[in-house]
Every structure is written in structure tokens, then in C-alpha cells.
Amino acid sequence: MNAVEQPSPTLGILGGMGPVVSAEFVRTIYEYNRKPAEQDAPQVILFSLPSAPDRNESIYTKNEERLLVFMETQLRRLDPLCDRILIGCCTAHHWLPSITAEAKRKVLPIMNIIDRELEKSDEPALLLATRGTYDKRLFREACKNADRVVEPDRADREAIMAIIFDVLKKGKDPHTVIPTVERLLDKYGTRTFISGCTEFHLLAKILDTRESSSVRAIDAFSIVARDFHDIVRLGT
């Protein structure tokens, strides 16, 4: 290796929550980072672990210890293999404060990635998330630009939960949810949404390829894929 060369950084993904969007995230990374030689493409290690306990269920059944042990164990497994770690579930970030500093030292919190993008935005953004993410105020508590985060009312939160669990997680066509998302954006007076559940990466990718779409997604997976080397090497 040339003395001035730096080794390519490696991103570890604690994924499988859900498995389809974790796999799609890896695909997005390589779509954004096409190289003449495959040896120069980003280095990624995906732990796709659908056996992870359900995050929302863990919150509302007060059965959180099992998920906490799972996350601590898997973060420790990933740590020696990579430079940075991304947890592929927003709701799972609720447990980060309870994880030891050593186990989470390489984690890039999704909320921080979103927050940096919010700072550049010229309009508020509607948070599309799970019930647990709303109720635990994960974005409100973590984002310096929380005043730009619009949270829907209770009824609309249930409609968003249906999109996540009845469409996106079940592998149905994400195109079918576009009218509902557009209706919600119109109701809350914005054309921007935050992928507050990583499943919305599937929708964000579709919107990104539609030249006629006026809807913008602030999506952590897309941001990491786009700025892979800066984020993974520098953490910014």
C-alpha cells in the first residue's frame, strides 16, 4: 500500500429490523458509490438479524431487557470489524442511553444524521415514524433543530403505523402509499418528510427517481449512502 493511502473505512450495520430495508440500504450504498474497480467500492458488514425482539412491543409490554441484551451483544460483535456502526431501526435508538459506552462507541445515531440535514432545510418536515418513536420523543429529544420536526396527531400516527407494518414491512409495493403520504404532507403544510422509521427508505428511493415528484425525503440511509466516506471515516 502506498504510504499516503488510507485504508477504506468499513461500515457495520446492525440490521434485520426489518431485513428487506437493511438489504436495500446496502444496495443503495453501492448505487451511490459506483467505482471503475470493485476493489474501490465501500466496505460494508451487514448483520441482518430479523430475530431481534420487536422494538415497539418491547416498549409497550415493558419487556425491554431482552432487547437491551440483544443490542449490547451485537454491537460488541460488530465493534472490532468496522469503523462506524449504524443501527438499522430508529425505535431501537431508545435503548442507546442504557448501553455501555464501550459497546456504543462507534454508533452513528440516526437522529444526528437527520438533524444535520434539518439544519440545511428551508421548511419543516413531517416525521413518519412508529408509535414508540413518537411516544419516546426520540427525534424531539435528540435533534437540535427539533422545532423543524412536525409530529402528526394520534389518528394520523395510526395511519402511518399501518403503512409501516401492513405495506412496507410486508414487502408490498411502496408506490401504493404515495397518495397517503402526500395527503399527510398537505395536511401539515410541508412537502418534506423524515424517514423516522427506516422502512421509509423504500419510499424515499422511489421518490428520488421520480422527476415529477415535489415530495422530498430526509432519509438517513440515503444520506449515509451519498456521503459514505465522510460519514464513515469522520463520523460527519
Instruction: CATH number of the domain at 54, please.
Output: 3.40.50.1860
pTM here is: 0.93
Q: Would 194 be classed as within a structural domain?
A: yes
Q: How many domains does the chain have?
A: 2
202 and 159 share one domain: yes
pLDDT at 3: 46
Burial 83-115 (b: 16+ CB within 10 A, else e): bbbbbbbbbbbbbbeebeeebbebbbbbbbbbb
62 and 91 share one domain: yes
211 and 139 share one domain: yes
Q: Would 83 be classed as within a structural domain?
A: yes
pLDDT at 155: 97
144 and 160 share one domain: yes
15 and 73 share one domain: yes
**pLDDT in single tens digits along all 236 residues of the chain:** 444 456 689 999 999 999 999 999 999 999 999 989 999 999 999 999 999 999 999 999 988 999 999 999 999 999 999 999 999 999 999 999 999 999 999 999 999 999 999 999 889 999 999 999 999 999 999 999 999 999 999 999 999 999 999 999 999 999 999 999 999 999 999 999 999 999 999 999 999 887 667 899 999 999 999 999 999 987 76
93 and 157 share one domain: no
198 and 212 share one domain: yes
199 and 101 share one domain: no
Quote the CA–CA distance of 127 and 150 in Å, as a whole number: 6
Rg of the chain on CA atoms, in Å? 17
Q: Domain range holding 71?
A: 10-109+223-234
Considering only CA atoms, which of 139, 149, 144 is closest in space to residue 188?
149
Per the DSSP assignment, residues forming a β-bridge with 84 are 11
pLDDT at 122: 85
